[in-house]
Structure 1
Amino acid sequence: MSKPIMSAHFESRKPSDVRLAQMKYDEREKKPEAVINVGIGNVSLPTNPAMMKRMFNLDSPESPFSKGVIRYSGTAGTPEAQDAFKNILKSEGFDTSKLNVQVTDGGSSGMELVILGVCGPAGENERPLMMIDPAYTNYISFAQRLGRKTVTIKRHMGEDGLFNLPEMSEIEAIIKEHNPGGLLVIPYDNPTGQLYDQETLKELAELCVKHNMWLIGDEAYRELYYKEDQELVSIWGLSDEEVPGIEGRRISIETASKVWNACGLRMGAVITDNAEFSKKSIAEYTANLCANVIGQYIFGALAHESKEDILSWCKEQRDYYKDMIVKVREGLLEKEPKLIVSRPDASIYSVIDVRNVVKPDFDSIDFVLYCAGEGAVEIDGVETTLLVAPMKGFYDIEDSSKNPGTTQFRISFVESPENMAKVPELFVELLRKYEDQR
């Protein structure tokens, strides 16, 4: 009897690089005494107190769920959840009077909507999404799922750990060649941990206006920056005064996952200053009916927080991450000076490049699978392994032999400070052990 036939798309799918290590580790029969997972940005900190209060009191009289009834909200989300996203932006000094907010099931749903909204037809090369390599791997995956074309601006990781953009003239040449529908920028960069400056964002915005493109800002980490006296970098800091024509073509993707420590809540938003785009995006999302209403209620608590409380919370998160990120980077370079480690200016990630350390034909995926499937070293008397994300999937490059991610890894600063302090020794010792047996 013949077997049912899956689609070619399903047949070709492999796990996302950010989930690869965990999936392999789950299959491991004999597990070590301890595992430290920095392969995915699964924040382990408690969420905001106002959100926590609602989460723990869903049966209170003021809760819409007190009688056990859980109904759909409108497709665009509850007014309160929409106001929560606006209140955060307003507290940070941005004008929200012309912004349209659509609440989604996490930033991921927002990514899909934006790709559908700015790119050409499925299966065609028309108006692709332009990204800046390395880019968050989910954008590449969603574009493939939706049959939309992508094109990338290439960055290279220098020996100093910096990922530098090409000249604007080179970027414009790529735009002229491919005629993209929109440019995606992650100012507080995932995966590199680097921070764009507002002037660079302005120059990219000028190209978007000149070539009639949407400017898309993934602002999941907007409040997580570690330079002293740094002003917020955001597409919402741009205006027609400095970039004539930019208003009406801006879209941001927001989330409760990172700054608000609520990854599993799956709360996100698509925010735009183009009312027609928002209207059509909501129409597309009606097939999903609405975002998680309990999540909307919990996140909606932020609609009522003061500017002072919002800013104080954000500073608390910055202070927590900054010290830890700096120490881990210094520890990695101390354990193995030939490593290249990206500079921790923003977000909750760093990239480690081992190209100066390993033997030829090294493959980052093979090392990740080794650590997850069989590798372990003794740290403080405890047999331990480490889960990291290979960077190959963060580059939109078909030729694997030319993929810089072959020797690169992304680490997420999501474990406790005590566990993060073990990462440098753990990574270096596992790498040496792997290379010795290869």
Structure 2
Amino acid sequence: MKPQMSRHFSNRKPSAIRLAQIKFAERKDNTKPVNTAIGNVSLPLHPAISERMFNLNKEDSPFKEGVVKYTATVGMEETNQAFLNIIASSGFSTEGLYSQVTNGGSQAMEMVILGVCGDAGSTDHPLLLIDAAYTNYNAMAARVGRRTVSVSRTLGEDGNFSLPSMEEIETVIEKEKPSAMVVIPYDNPTGQFYSLEAMKTLAEICVKHNIWMISDEAYRELFYTKDVTSSIWGVTDKDVPGIEGRRISIETSSKVWNGCGLRIGALVTDRKDFHEKSVAECTADLCSNAIGQYMFGALAHESHDALGKWYESQRNYYSKMLVSLTEEFKELVPGIIVSNPDASLYSVIDVRNVVDENFNAQDFVLFCAREGKVDIKGEELTLLVAPMAGFYSLPEGAPNPGRTQMRIAYVEKPERMALVPALFASLLEQYKQR
């Protein structure tokens, strides 16, 4: 007899964004992966962050003597100022905002769910997502015994995701009584961009139904349209009376700043009591990575003009790849649907028009990870992508659009990303001919 695991652990499966990598690690041949399943960017850190990383023993470094102490749970003051400086650099007021450093955006997500949803194990006051939604919101909610509900978007033949109508959103709110709505203005996984006007419309719904508005701003400034920068911090009481006091944003060093492995994020709110309780909850975790905080804190001293130039350089880098690869996918796989590259660093590809009714994206992803390979200039390669079924929160028995959809992250170096459409086309043919 051996002790049992909890039901939660027994039922837990890897996240859709890590599944391919885990299965590929079990391979024994010499095939190499082009890993677009995870948003693990390959660009170097912002120079100010790098400078601190390479000079931890400088005279003005708190680590010059090799001692790494705990920081305050709320985080280093300089690091919190860095996050506020970043928000301000996009043209938004930070007056009255409270920032708390977290272990990446992930811990901020968990704190949001703990802080606004109903009691553990209760079905009351769930979290409202707009499907397809970042899959880890469902995982975090399950971890802490909370529930999510959703309203769905549809990927059209033209590559546009439809925003659900306000009536659809309100119908779900009135039925499910959620405590908060999550919006990802520069969307993961769809690449859809929520304009500032769209954010204001959603804010009006949150005020009308007295719920929190949570904005995941991991990709703020990564947009490729002619719109202005969008953010929850661009929506004030002047625009939507009553929105202030219910605003929360999730921040991170991972994407715009290329610091995925730093695991530094922030929970920013204009609600003082929420901030204080969130910090109190995190005292059980002691503090976030002290060295990572110090490194990221360098951005507290960067001018808004310098940060603006950094945003522009990142946009130029991603927009070129997004546009060129979208066109190549359509050329190599006639009938494929690729979401329009408006924001963030992802594309959703849908093969519903080029496969039969038995196709399952997760099976295809596992095939690529376990056995698929393509010889390209003498090198055997496979492609890792994320199946999309786990990005939808649907009623039991409802058809899942993710069955034929996959998410591609534009995170490998340009020369490797250039191989992705041809790799995908070849592997899909291999899979179909088995």
- TM-score between the two structures when normalised by the length of structure 1: 0.98
Show the counterpart of 2:215.
Answer: 217
Structure 1 residue 402 and structure 2 residue 412: aligned? no
Show the counterpart of 1:17.
Answer: 16
Structure 1 residue 79 and structure 2 residue 60: aligned? no
Partners of 1:334 and 1:84 lie apart in 2 by 43
Amino acid at match of 1:43: V
Partners of 1:166 and 1:105 lie apart in 2 by 32
Show the counterpart of 1:194.
Answer: 192
Amino acid at match of 2:85: N
Show the counterpart of 2:94.
Answer: 96
Partners of 1:179 and 1:410 lie apart in 2 by 30
Offset of 1:380 from its aligned partner? 3.1
Structure 1 residue 180 and structure 2 residue 178: aligned? yes
Preserved CA contact (<8 Å) 2:150 2:393 = yes
Offset of 1:166 from its aligned partner? 1.9
Partners of 2:53 and 2:96 lie apart in 1 by 31
Partners of 1:37 and 1:253 lie apart in 2 by 26
Preserved CA contact (<8 Å) 1:47 1:262 = yes
CA deviations on 1:202-258 (whole Å, 9 max, x unpaired) are: 111001011110000000001100113x20111100010110000110000000000
Partners of 2:398 and 2:192 lie apart in 1 by 26
Partners of 2:136 and 2:107 lie apart in 1 by 11
Partners of 2:135 and 2:395 lie apart in 1 by 14
Show the counterpart of 1:259.
Answer: 256
Partners of 2:254 and 2:373 lie apart in 1 by 30
Preserved CA contact (<8 Å) 2:195 2:228 = no
Amino acid at match of 1:17: A
- 1:48-197 superposed matches below 5 A: 48-197=46-195
Show the counterpart of 1:391.
Answer: 388
Partners of 1:322 and 1:146 lie apart in 2 by 37
Show the counterpart of 2:234.
Answer: 237
Which of 318, 326, 341 aligns to 2:323? It is 326
Partners of 2:395 and 2:376 lie apart in 1 by 38
Preserved CA contact (<8 Å) 1:377 1:383 = yes
Offset of 1:378 from its aligned partner? 1.9
Preserved CA contact (<8 Å) 2:129 2:150 = yes
Partners of 2:197 and 2:319 lie apart in 1 by 24
Residue range with higher mean Cα deviation, 256-265 or 68-77 = 68-77
Partners of 1:379 and 1:159 lie apart in 2 by 31
Offset of 1:173 from its aligned partner? 1.1
Residue range with higher mean Cα deviation, 406-415 or 393-402 = 393-402
Offset of 1:18 from its aligned partner? 0.4
Partners of 2:376 and 2:427 lie apart in 1 by 11
Offset of 1:401 from its aligned partner? 6.4
CA deviations on 1:122-141 (whole Å, 9 max, x unpaired) are: 11111100000010000010
- CA distance 1:35–1:290, change in 2 (3 Å): same
Computed over aligned residues only, the root mean square deviation of the Cα atoms, in angstroms, reads: 0.9
Question: What is the SS of the residue equivalent to 1:116?
Answer: helix
Offset of 1:194 from its aligned partner? 1.0
Structure 1 residue 283 and structure 2 residue 288: aligned? no
Question: What is the SS of the residue equivalent to 1:317?
Answer: helix
Offset of 1:99 from its aligned partner? 0.3
Partners of 1:36 and 1:369 lie apart in 2 by 14
- CA distance 1:176–1:398, change in 2 (3 Å): closer
- TM-score between the two structures when normalised by the length of structure 2: 0.99
Partners of 1:309 and 1:76 lie apart in 2 by 27
Amino acid at match of 1:73: T
Question: What is the SS of the residue equivalent to 2:105?
Answer: helix
Query: Percent identity between the aligned chains?
Result: 58
Amino acid at match of 1:71: K
Partners of 1:167 and 1:396 lie apart in 2 by 18
Preserved CA contact (<8 Å) 2:30 2:380 = no
Runs of 4+ with deviation above 6 angstroms = none
Question: What is the SS of the residue equivalent to 2:75?
Answer: coil
Preserved CA contact (<8 Å) 1:74 1:290 = yes
Which of 286, 296, 320 aligns to 2:293? It is 296
Amino acid at match of 2:4: I
Structure 1 residue 363 and structure 2 residue 360: aligned? yes
Preserved CA contact (<8 Å) 1:372 1:385 = yes
Show the counterpart of 1:38.
Answer: 36
Preserved CA contact (<8 Å) 1:359 1:435 = no
Partners of 1:398 and 1:19 lie apart in 2 by 24
Offset of 1:393 from its aligned partner? 0.7
Preserved CA contact (<8 Å) 2:35 2:412 = yes
Offset of 1:398 from its aligned partner? 5.2
Partners of 2:80 and 2:229 lie apart in 1 by 21
Partners of 1:199 and 1:357 lie apart in 2 by 36
Question: What is the SS of the residue equivalent to 2:433?
Answer: helix
Question: What is the SS of the residue equivalent to 2:25?
Answer: helix
- CA distance 1:104–1:306, change in 2 (3 Å): same
